[in-house]
Amino acid sequence: MAEEKKKGSWLVPIVAAVAVALIVRSFIMAPYVVEGASMEPSLEDRDRILVNKIPTWLGEFDRGDIVIIEENNRHYVKRLIAMPGETISMEEGMLLVDGEEIDEPYVNELEDYVESIEEVTMDDDEYYVMGDNRGNSLDSRNGLGLIEEDDVLGRSTVVFFPMSNLQLTN
């Protein structure tokens, strides 16, 4: 009888471990891969990042956060530029939110960026996102449009691979 109990004793810990892993990945933390150059120099193509999903439940995002969004069944890594209820515009590369200039030290400095964006006001559940590499990014300006709160999956916390790029992201 004791021998029968030993045979199945490995099943419960394996099932428990799989259940915990699924819960963590679904509701707390998940890995994602950066695809493309739109977030350079902050994030490189093929960087692997960990994304904290808890801010999604709490609605705790700040301007400048790097987030994962889901749009048309694809995932995008972008930076939050304007928050719900805010008004954004850009004049010759100078970003204005609610009429005040926003400092953006993360923007790719290698480019002479002079784009202008007409004034846009976010609804109470919308965000405006942009890539740091402004000249090479699909974002709210040119294809993704305004991002609904439900489409923000979480906030990036760390680049964990490759090890040469290991860094906190927010």
Q: Which of 6, 7, 26, 38 is the catalytic position?
A: 38
Domain residue ranges of the chain, discontinuous segments joined by +: 2-168
- Residue 150 CA to residue 124 CA, distance in Å, equals 12
Q: What is the pLDDT of residues 121-148, one digit of tens each?
A: 999 999 999 999 988 899 999 889 999 9
Q: Which of 6, 7, 53, 78 is the catalytic position?
A: 78
To the query of whether residue 156 is one of the catalytic residues in this protein, the response is: no
Round the average pLDDT of the chain to a whole number and report it.
86
| Segment 107-117 mean pLDDT | 70
What DSSP assignment string belongs to 82-125?
E-TT-EEEEETTEEEETTEE---TTS-TTS-----EEEEE--TT
- Of the candidates 137, 133, 136, 129, the one whose C-alpha atom is nearest the C-alpha of residue 155 is 129
To the query of whether residue 38 is one of the catalytic residues in this protein, the response is: yes
**Which residues, 6 or more positions from 121, have their beta carbon under 8 angstroms from its beta carbon?**
85, 86, 87, 88
Structure tokens that stand for 12 in this block: 């419960």
Q: What is the pLDDT of residues 15-65, one digit of tens each?
A: 888 887 777 777 778 899 999 999 998 999 999 999 988 877 667 899 999
Around Cβ 43, how many Cβ atoms within 10 Å?
25
Element containing residue 159 per DSSP (H, E): strand 152-161
Tell me yes or no: is domain 2-168 CATH 3.30.930.10. no
